[in-house]
Structure 1
């Protein structure tokens, strides 16, 4: 495989609520949320994301979530796959180990944002990264926080370090 050149980088965006957030958030939170976002970075022919088991990957669109609700073009990277995998392995053994997962502060969107910046110098859209603080700014979000802190999102995939 040719490891020189430019490789497209995409952000796959999934609504974990499958439209329910848009319908129920005005009543439950007193504000409109368009979705509960799960994101992944697609580069070098695979989809990479962070879940309670750590950093995992699958074929693009290959999680049980199905096809993403939207795909954001983040541009291109010149980081070859080998260097990218070394970077991910380093993250998987430090900042993005499975036990570091937290639904509000350290989740798939934190990972996508960090990896997007590493690959392209660009952040992911703020409507995604601002969602936790929007939810927690409401009385209902604060009341649910103890329960939600124990939630771990895991849409499947293969752990990149081979560990479970």
Structure 2
């Protein structure tokens, strides 16, 4: 009988605002935001994320952001590391190359959500994926959009396609 291996999959969730969104969002946006979220998928002993530098990896919680604010257990995958690496390489050469990064439409959370579904069939929490539309639904969010879109988040790590 063939043995199947199950590998744990987690999403690390970081508040890039370090609590400032919770404090300032009611006054600035007229709504409560609990954070400005960055996410990474942890599987096969590494954390994978998308940034303005493309797809990157580092040891779990090894970004310059520090420790995650929370960790969500997404279950298990039977996708072996070799197949996962090929999948990421393909994504990195197509839809998740560095020139495709967009703070609102195509960011780390979109990547984490897609990878989570590939590995486990589960999505990351909707409060994370809904954040850009929540912000852009406010007048202040619309006013800040041009400035914010010029920003690229880069929490460090090694690019999976060897680019820096």
Q: TM-score range by the shorter chain?
A: over 0.9
The offset of 1:4, in angstroms, is 4.4
Within-5 A mapping of 1:121-136: 121-136=121-136
Q: Quick one: distance in 1 between partners of 2:64 and 2:4?
A: 33
Match of 2:157 in 1: 157
For residue 8 of structure 2, give the secondary structure of its aligned residue in structure 1: strand
Mapped to 2, the partners of 1:122 and 1:26 lie a distance apart of 31
Is there any run of 5+ residues in structure 2 with no aligned partner, and where? none
The separation in 1 between residues aligned to 2:88 and 2:121, in whole angstroms, is: 16
TM-score (norm 1): 0.97
TM-aligned CA deviation for residue 163 of structure 1: 1.6
Q: 1:109 corresponds to which residue?
A: 109
SS at match of 1:105: coil
Secondary structure of the corresponding residue to residue 162 of structure 2: coil
Runs of 4+ in 1 over 2 A off after TM superposition: none
The count of residues paired between Structure 1 and Structure 2 equals 162
Cα distance in 1 between the residues matched to 2:163 and 2:102: 19
TM-score (norm 2): 0.97
Give the whole-Å Cα distance in 2 for the aligned partners of 1:163 and 1:129: 27
